[in-house]
Amino acid sequence: MSAILTIAGLTVVEASRRRTLWVLIGLTLLTVALTTWGVERLVSLARAGSTNEAQIVLGVSQVLILVAFMFSFVLAMTAAFLGAPAIAADLESGVAHAMLARPIRRADLVTGRWLGLVAIVVAYASAAGFLEIAAVGVVTGYAPPQPVVAVGFLCAQAIVLLTFAILLSTRIPAIAAGAICVVLFGLGWMAGVFAGIGRFFEAGPLVAVADASRWLLPTDGLWRGTIYGLEPPLVVLVAVGRGGTAADANPFFAASAPPLVFVAWSVVWVAIVLALAVVSLSRRDL
């Protein structure tokens, strides 16, 4: 455990010394400031006109979901490009050889790297998410119903992609691993869109394939949890009542939170992929 914590700490120090953390923090503050200013302007203009409060709440919640989507994308990229070189770069440079000749398990290196990066990603997602929600709340008065749930699913989505990137990192060069993660993340999101539309048109095989992809890479399913945590309950009731399956086709709407079994599967998925990463590195000749 001591070796795992040592490597996790080293990973956090690396992110800090390589200025990754500071770049993320700086850009996040800038993003929050700009989006909050934009939301405040729109809401002020709407209130000055004839827009009623319910419409404003709906509008703000939708903008918040779009901003969350942007953060989700940034987080996914961050997770992919932090995770992809986590092992591969150390193997390519030779840094790992000196470390793995020490009395540590290869599992310690993989788990320590994973733990350190999870800490960075979760800290970043939490800080960015809550700051954005709080800033929008201050200027518009809108508070999403379940901010913790929303940010929690945002973190979970990043952890899933990060873990997958680390698995690839044990075998594939960093750039290739990062590219694969980004492409699969995009495909996963599109599969969610296709599943929603396919369900509306009752396209059975398309829905089956798209749903299966959600279980194979649970990022999009978790993203729906973030949306659900940001939507006003009234919007959910009205949308489901009026649109039925049509509402599901909207990639920025979630009729319900991800089922518990899916959340549990996501946890198991992360454990399995992390275990595969350990096995993959353990079986590799350096």
Partner 1 sequence: MVMTSPVPSSVIIDTEGLAKRYGRTEALVDLTMRVEAGEVFGFLGPNGAGKTTAVKLLLGLARPTGGLGTVLGAPLGDRTARSQIGYLPELFRYQPWLRAREVLELHRRLIGRGIDRSAGSVETVLADVGLADRANDLVGGFSKGMQQRLGLGVALLGGPALVVLDEPTSALDPVGRADVRAIIRRVSAAGSTVFLNSHLLTEVERVCDRVAIVDHGRVLASGRLTDLLGESTVRIRVTDLPATMPATLARFGRVATSDDGWLSIAGIDPNAVPDAVAAVVAAGGRVHAVDPGRATLEDRYMELVAGADEVRAAVADRPDPTR
Residues near partner 1 (CB under 8 A)? 2-3, 6, 10, 13-14, 17-18, 93-95, 97-105, 285-286
Structure-token pair, residue 159 = 């952890």
Residue ranges of E strands in the chain: none
CA distance 70 to 239: 23
Structure-token pair, residue 87 = 């092992």
CA distance 39 to 36: 5
User: Whole-number minimum distance, CB 100 to partner 1, in Å?
Assistant: 6
User: Whole-number minimum distance, CB 30 to partner 1, in Å?
Assistant: 25
User: Whole-number minimum distance, CB 11 to partner 1, in Å?
Assistant: 11
49 or 103, CB closer to partner 1? 103
CA distance 85 to 106: 16
User: Whole-number minimum distance, CB 107 to partner 1, in Å?
Assistant: 11
**How are the residues of the chain apportioned to helix, strand and coil, as percentages rounded to the nearest 5?**
85, 0, 15
6 or 62, CB closer to partner 1? 6
User: Whole-number minimum distance, CB 2 to partner 1, in Å?
Assistant: 6
CA distance 198 to 216: 19
11 or 35, CB closer to partner 1? 11
108 or 231, CB closer to partner 1? 108
17 or 47, CB closer to partner 1? 17
Cα 164 → chain centroid: 12
The greatest distance separating any two alpha carbons of the chain, rounded to the nearest whole angstrom, comes to: 71
